[in-house]
Chains A and B, each alone.
Chain A
Amino acid sequence: MTRLAGILTVLLLAALAALVTAVALGSVQLTPAQTLSVLTGDGDPLHRTLILELRLPRALAAFATGGLLAVAGALMQVLLRNPLADPYVLGLSGGAAVGALASMLLGTGTVLVSGSAFAGAMVSTFIVFGLAHGTGSWTPTRLLLTGVVVAAGWGALISFLLAVSPTEELPGMLYWLMGDLSHARRIGPAWAILIGVVLAAMPLGRSLNVLARGPMQAAALGVAVRPLEWTVYIVAALVTATAVTLAGSVGFVGLIVPHMLRLVLGNDQRIILPASALAGGILLTLADTLARTLIAPQQLPVGVITAMLGVPVFLYLLHRSR
């Protein structure tokens, strides 16, 4: 328990530092003193607008997205007993993208884009897990393969939607596909889901540890395997859908963060899940700060940064896993 408290304290402090950095850096540089004075309630009105209405909401959105994706990745990896599992790899993000692009093409409002992205992620989840479940055996290989194939199918649909879309719609769509936080709004639900899931996952943590040893061993140790697997799976889908809805398809956070944490902290889900939420948030907050400032005043989609970090990590993992 003390170890958990220690780890979480360190990560919480790092999270605060990341948020302050994100708020202070940008096209208009602020000193730490100026930032602090705004956050404590006074300071320059221009700085107030900049921080409270632009940078802080965006930083909080980045943090929630990163945390959600990392938690989703950690959950799926336990479910599949495979460190390569990730919402992106399993095609959930693709489903969300198809939903979002279709509603952009139809010219519906932001709310409907979010709604259909969410629906797309859920549909994708049920297709992948439902098909892979098929004959009653839910083997990790079958799931991963189904996920990869379904992701390829979504990819084709995405190309189709891009091909038939009017030119003026394309930049928005592409940004959404690459993952972009500049339009992230309504961060309340995302934060609520992130905090709720982490708290709810804590009592399940030890059962998840046992599940990571294989379903038979888990059942022999008294875990109700099927209900637990379905719970994890639905929660992972919900969490992914929330993240994708908020920020588009940001890849690889769910892959990198839990893996790095397991290397350092071991594989106790009671530590890994809250630590993933914090570390994922930190990673995406910093990545988004980089995306805003690297070629300022122009902005990069944050998905580009995470992919640049994630692809080498994924390949390295694949190379190392025999």
Chain B
Amino acid sequence: MAADHHSTPPLLQLDDLVVDIPGRPDGAALRLAVRPGQCWGVLGPNGAGKSTLLHTLAGLRPARRGGLRLDGHPMEDLPRHRIARHLGMVFQDQQDGFPATVLETALIGRHPYLRPWEMESAADYAAAQSALERTGLSGLEDRPIATLSGGERQRLAIATALTQDPRVFLLDEPTNHLDLHHQVEVLDIVRRLVTHGRGALLTMHDVNLTARYCDHLLLMYPNGDACWGPTRDMLVPRALERLYGQPLAVGQVDGMPVFLPRGTEREDAAPVQSRQNDPSTPARHKDAPAP
């Protein structure tokens, strides 16, 4: 499936997309494509606009410039329920106004597939059940969501997206509120979806987990710059240090680089100095426009 993916239109294509962050000058125009089998990680410091980017990609807010194509179709030509079958979004925070059970919550993922008069069928319930199973929530079907732990809630949000069964998963910090084991579990789920021909784009804070699970990275700098490409090209210590404004120590685990933040005081003062004397610029993807 992944072999001939360049012959088919990408699942999600960003055509010189400039995200609209109110009160800020234009950031980099993003020109990238999420293809079947690809998992994109979006890294950047707080406030760099990662969530805004995801909301823009999901069609929930207008872009400042540029456009989006789903399977080659411009997004603005598609009705909302078609977009919802193609793109699934998991938000950072789930709000619950009214009491609801776990199963009911997962089941709303079927909404884009049902006609107005249609009630959920046995197949829809089965889809929700299977999503709960895959996220380790089976047995909790009748629990009110208000009684769930933060981690269970996060997995339920992912289960709702699994029930929605979109081609591209947009996940805003899916490992938030999760312990190490459940972080890995969630990322394993995403990985499995991707190997089955879906695409994924997730914002993350953990550089090392992102490096392990994502095959492509998009780095969003606080000044609006961005660079993107295959993970192995993007894991440049200086680029990451500039990204977070934070000196990093680099090691090796299982043949992969591992990045750890260095303290900025005491014995680490010297490396910080040398970094500042040698300002590095982020590695740019070859077709990224010059700043």
Give A residues with C-beta under 8 Å from B: 1, 77, 81-83, 140, 202-204, 206-207, 209-210, 212-214, 216-217, 219-224, 262, 266-268, 270
A-B contact list, 16 entries, CB within 8 Å:
A82-B97, A83-B97, A206-B111, A207-B116, A212-B97, A213-B97, A214-B97, A217-B94, A217-B108, A219-B59, A220-B91, A221-B164, A223-B111, A262-B98, A267-B100, A270-B119
B42 at the A interface (CB under 8 A): no
- Cα–Cα, bound, A203→B55 (Å): 28
Whether A220 pairs with B84 at a CB distance below 8 angstroms is: yes
* Chain B, Cβ-Cβ closest to A272: B98
- Neighbour of B108 across the interface among A204, A209, A219, A266, CB < 8 A: A209
Binary per-residue interface labels of chain B (97-109) against chain A in the complex, 1 for a CB within 8 Å, 0 otherwise: 1111100110011
By the criterion CB–CB under 8 Å, are A221 and B98 in contact? no
B108 with A210: CB separation less than 8 A: yes
> For the complex, is B60 an interface residue (Cβ under 8 Å from A)?
yes
In the complex, how many angstroms separate the beta carbon of B100 from the nearest chain A beta carbon?
6
A-chain residues with CB within 8 Å of residue B119 when the two chains form the complex: 1, 270
B34 to chain A, nearest CB (A): 17
Number of interface residues of B (CB under 8 A): 33
Q: Are A217 and B91 in contact (CB under 8 A)?
A: yes
Chain B residues close to A by CB (< 8 Å): 55, 58-60, 80-85, 87-89, 91, 94-101, 104-105, 108-109, 111-112, 114, 116-117, 119, 164
Q: Select the residue from B85, B88, B109, B119 with max chain A CB neighbours within 10 A.
A: B119
Closest 10 CB pairs of A and B: A81-B97, A222-B84, A203-B116, A222-B81, A222-B112, A220-B89, A221-B111, A214-B95, A222-B80, A267-B98
Residues on B with C-beta less than 8 A from A267 are 98-100, 104
Residues of B within 8 A of A1 (CB): 119
With A262-B99, A266-B104 given, can you name 11 additional A-B contacts, CB distance below 8 Å? Answer: A77-B98, A81-B98, A83-B97, A204-B116, A216-B55, A216-B60, A219-B60, A221-B111, A222-B80, A224-B80, A267-B98
Shortest distance from the beta carbon of A73 to any chain B beta carbon, whole Å = 13
Question: CB < 8 Å: which of A207, A222, A268 contacts B83?
Answer: A222
Contact partner, A220, options B88, B97, B101, Cβ 8 Å: B88
A224 cross-chain contacts in B, Cβ below 8 A = 80
Contacts of B60 in A (CB 8 A): 216, 219-220
| Residues from chain B with Cβ under 8 Å of A217 in the complex | 91, 94-95, 108
Chain B residues in 8 Å Cβ range of A202: 117
The smallest C-beta distance from B92 to any residue of chain A, in angstroms, reads 10
User: In the bound complex, how far is the Cα of B114 from the Cα of A209, in angstroms?
Assistant: 13
CB neighbours (8 Å) of A83 from chain B are 97-98
Residues on B with C-beta less than 8 A from A212 are 97-98
Q: Which residue of A lies closest to B98 (CB)?
A: A267
CB distance from A269 to the nearest CB of B (A): 10
What separation, in Å, do the CA atoms of A219 and B192 have in the docked complex?
Answer: 26
Please give the distance in Å from B110's CB to the nearest CB on chain A: 9
Q: For the complex, give the distance between the alpha carbons of A212 and B94 in Å.
A: 12
CA distance A201 to B55 in the complex (A): 29
Question: Considering the chains assembled together, what is the distance between the CA atoms of A77 and B99 in angstroms?
Answer: 13
Question: In the bound complex, do residue A203 and residue B99 qualify as a contact, i.e. CB atoms below 8 Å apart?
Answer: no
The contact of B114 among A140, A206, A216, A268, by CB within 8 Å, is A206
CB pair B91–A216 under 8 Å, yes or no, is: yes
- B residues within 8 A CB of A207? 111, 116
A204 to B114, CA, bound (A): 12
Give the distance to chain B from A193, nearest Cβ to Cβ, in Å: 21
- Whether B98 and A222, one on each chain, are in contact in the complex, defined by CB atoms closer than 8 angstroms, is no
Considering the chains assembled together, what is the distance between the CA atoms of A304 and B164 in angstroms? 48
Distance in Å from the Cβ of B212 to the closest Cβ of chain A? 27
CA–CA, A203 to B119, complex, Å?
A: 10
B82 contacts which chain A residues (CB < 8 A)?
222
| Min CB–CB distance B99 → chain A (angstroms) | 7
B174 to chain A, nearest CB (A): 14
In whole angstroms, what is the CA distance A267 to B89 when docked? 23
* Chain B residues, Cβ within 8 Å of A221: 84, 108-109, 111-112, 164
Known: A222-B80, A222-B81, A224-B80. A210 touches B97 (CB 8 A): no
Q: Residues of B contacting A209 with CB < 8 Å?
A: 108
Residues of A contacting B100 in the complex (Cβ-Cβ under 8 angstroms): 213, 266-267
Report the nearest A residue to B111, measured CB to CB: A221
Bound CA–CA A223/B110 (angstroms): 12
Q: Indicate if the CB atoms of B117 and A210 lie closer than 8 Å.
A: no
Contact between B111 and A210, CB atoms less than 8 A apart: yes
Name the A residues within 8 Å of B81 (CB-CB). Answer: 222
- With a cutoff of 8 Å between Cβ atoms, the chain A residues found around residue B87 in the complex are 220
Check B98 against A223 for contact (C-beta < 8 Å): no
Shortest Cβ distance from residue A78 to the other chain B in the assembled complex, whole angstroms: 8
